[in-house]
Structure 1
Amino acid sequence: MNLAKPTHAGYFLGQSVIALAERLRAGSLTSVELTQAALDSIERLNPVLNAFVQVDAPVALAQARKADELFAQGRDLGPLQGIPIAVKDNIDTFDYVTTYGSAHFEGCTPGRDALCVQRLREAGAVIVGKTLTHEFAYGPTGDRSLQGAARNPWDARCITGGSSAGSAAAVASGMVPLALGTDTGGSIRIPAALCGAVGFKPSFASVPLDGVFPLSSSLDHVGPIASSVEDARLLFEVIAGRPVAKAPDVHSLRVGWITSGSFGPVDAEVDRQVYQVAQQLFGNGLQDTGEVAPLAAGMKDTLLTLQRAEAFDVHAERMHEAPQLFDQEVRERLELSREVRGWQYIRAQASQAQYKAALARLFERYDFLVSPSVPITATEVDAREVRVGEQDIDVRAAVLSHTSAWNLTGLPAISLPAGQVRGMPVGLQVIGAAGDDDRLLQVMARLYVPG
Structure 2
Amino acid sequence: MNLAKPTHTGYFFGLSVGDLARRLRAGSLTSVELTQAALDSIERLNPALNAFVAVDAEVSLAQARKADELFAQGLDLGPLHGIPVAIKDNIDTFDHVTTYGSAHFEGFRPTQDALCVQRLREGGAVIVGKTLTHEFAYGPTGDRSLQGAARNPWDARCITGGSSAGSAAAVASGMVPLALGTDTGGSIRIPAALCGAVGFKPSFAAVPLDGVFPLSSSLDHVGPIANHVDDARVVFEVIAARTCAPATLRRPLRVGWIEPGTFGPLDADVQGQVYQAAQQLFGDALEQTGELEPLVAQLKDTLLTLQRAEAYDVHAERMQTAPQLFEQEVRERLELSREVRGWQYIRAQAGQARLKAAMARLFERYDFLVSASVPITATPVDAREVQVGEQCIDVRAAVLSYTSAWNLTGLPAISLPAGQVRGMPVGLQVIGAAGADDQLLQLLAQRYVRT
TM-score range, shorter chain: over 0.9
Alignment-derived partner of residue 120 in structure 2:
120
Alignment-derived partner of residue 317 in structure 1:
317
Task: Quote the offset at 1:260 in angstroms.
Answer: 0.4
SS in 2 for 1:64: helix
CA contact under 8 A between 1:256 and 1:368: conserved in structure 2?
yes
Task: Quote the offset at 1:5 in angstroms.
Answer: 1.2
SS in 2 for 1:438: helix
CA contact under 8 A between 1:192 and 1:225: conserved in structure 2?
yes
Alignment-derived partner of residue 35 in structure 1:
35
Give the Cα separation in 2 of the matches to 1:120 and 1:321.
36
Counterparts in 2 of 1:2-41, with a 5 A limit?
A: 2-41=2-41
Once superposed, what is the RMSD of the aligned Cα atoms? 0.6
Give the Cα separation in 2 of the matches to 1:293 and 1:52.
39
Unaligned runs of 5+ in 1: none
Letter in 2 for 1:425: P
Alignment-derived partner of residue 435 in structure 1:
435
Alignment-derived partner of residue 417 in structure 1:
417
Give the Cα separation in 1 of the matches to 2:164 and 2:2.
26
Task: Quote the offset at 1:251 in angstroms.
Answer: 5.6
Give the Cα separation in 2 of the matches to 1:236 and 1:46.
26
Alignment-derived partner of residue 221 in structure 2:
221
* Poorly superposed stretches of 4+, deviation over 6 Å: none
Give the Cα separation in 2 of the matches to 1:7 and 1:376.
20
SS in 1 for 2:317: helix
SS in 2 for 1:316: helix
Letter in 2 for 1:374: V
Counterparts in 2 of 1:87-102, with a 5 A limit?
A: 87-102=87-102
CA offsets 1:130-187 (integer angstroms, 9 cap, x no match): 0000000000000000000000000000000000000000000000000000000000
Alignment-derived partner of residue 369 in structure 2:
369
Task: Quote the offset at 1:2 in angstroms.
Answer: 1.7
Letter in 2 for 1:2: N
CA contact under 8 A between 1:250 and 1:443: conserved in structure 2?
no
Give the Cα separation in 2 of the matches to 1:358 and 1:175.
41
Counterparts in 2 of 1:293-304, with a 5 A limit?
A: 293-304=293-304
Give the Cα separation in 2 of the matches to 1:217 and 1:208.
12
Q: Does 1:348 align with 2:354?
A: no
Letter in 1 for 2:232: A
Give the Cα separation in 2 of the matches to 1:21 and 1:299.
42
Counterparts in 2 of 1:254-403, with a 5 A limit?
A: 254-403=254-403
Alignment-derived partner of residue 145 in structure 2:
145
Task: Quote the offset at 1:249 in angstroms.
Answer: 5.3
Give the TM-score taking structure 2 as reference length: 1.00
SS in 1 for 2:85: strand
Task: Quote the offset at 1:229 in angstroms.
Answer: 0.1
Give the Cα separation in 2 of the matches to 1:117 and 1:340.
34
SS in 1 for 2:406: helix
SS in 2 for 1:302: helix
Give the TM-score taking structure 1 as reference length: 1.00
SS in 2 for 1:399: helix
Percent identity, aligned pairs only, is: 84
CA contact under 8 A between 1:30 and 1:68: conserved in structure 2?
yes
Letter in 1 for 2:415: S
Letter in 1 for 2:87: V
Letter in 2 for 1:136: F
Give the Cα separation in 1 of the matches to 2:153 and 2:252.
37
Give the Cα separation in 1 of the matches to 2:444 and 2:344.
38
Give the Cα separation in 2 of the matches to 1:136 and 1:250.
44
Give the Cα separation in 2 of the matches to 1:370 and 1:138.
26
CA offsets 1:199-257 (integer angstroms, 9 cap, x no match): 00000000000000000000000000000000000110000001111112586110000
Letter in 1 for 2:124: G
Alignment-derived partner of residue 238 in structure 1:
238
Give the Cα separation in 2 of the matches to 1:228 and 1:34.
18
Give the Cα separation in 2 of the matches to 1:251 and 1:291.
23
Letter in 1 for 2:313: D
Unaligned runs of 5+ in 2: none
Letter in 2 for 1:227: N
Alignment-derived partner of residue 202 in structure 1:
202
Letter in 2 for 1:92: D
Task: Quote the offset at 1:14 in angstroms.
Answer: 1.5
Alignment-derived partner of residue 154 in structure 1:
154
SS in 2 for 1:35: helix
